[in-house]
Structure 1
Amino acid sequence: MNIDINLLLLLLTPVYFVPITIEWWWLKRHPYYNPSARYRLPDVFANLSLGLFYQLGEKLAGAYVMAIYFSLFEFKLFTIAPTLWSFILLLVLQDFCYYWFHRMSHNVRWMWASHVVHHSSQSLNFSTAFRQSFTYPLSGMWLFWIPLVMLGFPPETVLLVVMVNLFYQFFIHSQVVPPLGWIEWVFNTPRHHRVHHAKNPNYIDKNFGGLLIIWDRLFGTFKAESESEPCRYGIPKQVNSYDPLLLTFHEWRDMLKDALKPGKTLKQRLKHLYSYPSWQPKP
């Protein structure tokens, strides 16, 4: 299967901007709806700029990562025939791997340094889905798909399924989509993802699934949105800037500053890189 990812992303562009336009139009007709759902030009500019940088990072790292995948594919455990059922199986397994990548991205500071970009907006609407970091290849996102390649799924098909998962996730970045009934028992939905983006203490580090919410229900990280506790968006250590470069590098800067501060042991320096993002040595 020969996939031109950049061409495919280009063809999908109208699919992204149709719901953005509809959401923007609906919010204009409901001026008293939650202000954090609104499209504000500086925030949208930051989101789109970060999305372009993210695509650049993926382009630069793509050939290197695919070379690793194809090298490992030579040692695959099984030969998996390309059928509809194997594709569905890959969708489920990739989402399982995504759950652990996403959960680790909130619990390991080295990975949070990339993922924090996505959470840094105090607004949540469809455009927020574009707010990504081009440092994901550096923080190791691609490592989590290696088990799929080693099982015997072709690297290009794995990459396609990763893109399908991320494409789906675009549609869960909204505050105007109502509850979706029984669907919410199995699939990740806007209602679940609002909780994930919230910085309320009761909501932090919840709902890590991409396509499915079943992993959160199985592993104890599920939290339902409560009408009595509206979501507040952003990050605990808020960066009040729309500068794409500052949004991309602020946590890398702070992490390295903590790790290189004089008077610390090697263990403490390493813990600044691989412990929970807010970890600090006891005084």
Structure 2
Amino acid sequence: MGPSLILYAVPFFLITVILEAVLVTREQKDFIDKTDSFTSIALGIGNLLTGLITKGFIWGVYVLLYEKFRIFTLDMSVWWVWVLAFFADDFSYYWFHREAHLIRYFWASHKVHHSSQKYNLATALRQTWTGNLTGSYIFYLWMPLVGFHPIIIVTMQQVSLLYQYWIHTETINKMWKPFEFLFNTPSHHRVHHGSDVKYLDCNYAGILIIWDRMFGTFVKEQERPRYGLTNNLNTHNPVKIAFSEWVDIIRDLGKAGSLKNAFMYIFAPPGWSPDGSTKTAKEMQKELDFMEKNR
């Protein structure tokens, strides 16, 4: 398989989590909760352990597509191929991340990352145990088909994850405007982690915020977001957090009453219900817009 950049970065993650905690404690801010941080670290460790198995399978899929079905051959020794791969990976990540919020099947894994009511470097480590198993890699399958070598693909995926680590913090405010215009920043990503209705389902960027600007999903940070989920899990048990949405899906399927409802419970946006008893993000935002217009 490709180089394991994430494993090499683990000591850096742990050191910077501790340094941030010390800084925040000295400034007497409420950005960090010790128990919450330990939960995030536990979920990160679980992600690494499950990845030992699942990433081998994904690597095999990429290799199969590249060796048997690729249309072109992009020479990985040429510098501009890596530049193309950077944009291809970031574009793929944007669409994966967007659909992970709009399709409940993918949200069941991604929800884990949003389950903390704090926003700090430890939150970046709060990762899914089921995402690889449930097919997040399908958004990247076009890359080996057009000729990107699997080593390039997995390297760029890890570069993206490494970049996104530092933007999980409240210790950095707004940055240089040209940088904020092009790149994902702590300010942009704080909005993405907000559970405020106006902040739901936006700023899906990995490294480049330009995709959100291009496809109409960019929202600027105004007041400090309220972090977490619209219905928080209220637990620090990493196992419950890792599987909570899958349990809820199974429970909803048991009361679906029809194949159509069963399909919608799995593939409709999170919050969908046949009787409207629970709301999707778009439905909540429409209600908010209506109330604001009729004040």
Scaled by the length of structure 2, what TM-score is found?
A: 0.89
Task: Between 229-238 and 208-217, report the one with greater CA deviation.
Answer: 229-238
**CA offsets 1:236-271 (integer angstroms, 9 cap, x no match):** 111000000000111100011112216x11011011
Task: Between 83-92 and 146-155, report the one with greater CA deviation.
Answer: 83-92
Number of the residue aligned with 1:154: 149
Structure 1: which amino acid aligns with 2:17?
I
Number of the residue aligned with 2:245: 251
Does the alignment pair 1:41 with 2:37? no
Taking every aligned residue pair, what percent have the same amino acid on both sides?
Answer: 36
The separation in 2 between residues aligned to 1:55 and 1:116, in whole angstroms, is: 17
Does the alignment pair 1:23 with 2:16? no
Does the alignment pair 1:91 with 2:90? no
Number of the residue aligned with 1:101: 96
CA apart distance, 1:4: 4.1
The separation in 1 between residues aligned to 2:203 and 2:53, in whole angstroms, is: 30
CA apart distance, 1:197: 0.2
> Secondary structure at the residue paired with 1:138?
coil
The separation in 2 between residues aligned to 1:173 and 1:79, in whole angstroms, is: 37
2:191 pairs, out of 159, 176, 195, with 195
Number of the residue aligned with 1:234: 228
Number of the residue aligned with 1:277: 270
Structure 1 outlier segments of 4+, above 6 Å: none
Number of the residue aligned with 2:139: 144
CA apart distance, 1:9: 3.0
**CA offsets 1:122-149 (integer angstroms, 9 cap, x no match):** 0000010110111002321111110111
1:113 pairs, out of 108, 127, 136, with 108
**CA offsets 1:45-89 (integer angstroms, 9 cap, x no match):** 111110011111211112221111111112111111122211111
The separation in 2 between residues aligned to 1:274 and 1:214, in whole angstroms, is: 27
Structure 1: which amino acid aligns with 2:60?
A
The separation in 1 between residues aligned to 2:142 and 2:234, in whole angstroms, is: 38
The separation in 1 between residues aligned to 2:195 and 2:95, in whole angstroms, is: 20
> Secondary structure at the residue paired with 2:141?
helix
The separation in 1 between residues aligned to 2:69 and 2:156, in whole angstroms, is: 21
> Secondary structure at the residue paired with 2:44?
helix
1:214 pairs, out of 210, 213, 224, with 210
Q: 1:10 to 1:69 in 2, by over 3 A?
A: closer
CA apart distance, 1:19: 2.8
**CA offsets 1:16-39 (integer angstroms, 9 cap, x no match):** 2343233222212211x3x2x12x
The separation in 1 between residues aligned to 2:39 and 2:10, in whole angstroms, is: 18
Number of the residue aligned with 1:184: 180
Number of the residue aligned with 1:225: 221
1:204 pairs, out of 188, 200, 205, with 200
The separation in 1 between residues aligned to 2:19 and 2:175, in whole angstroms, is: 19
CA apart distance, 1:225: 0.3
The separation in 2 between residues aligned to 1:277 and 1:158, in whole angstroms, is: 29
Structure 2: which amino acid aligns with 1:14?
P
> Secondary structure at the residue paired with 1:208?
coil
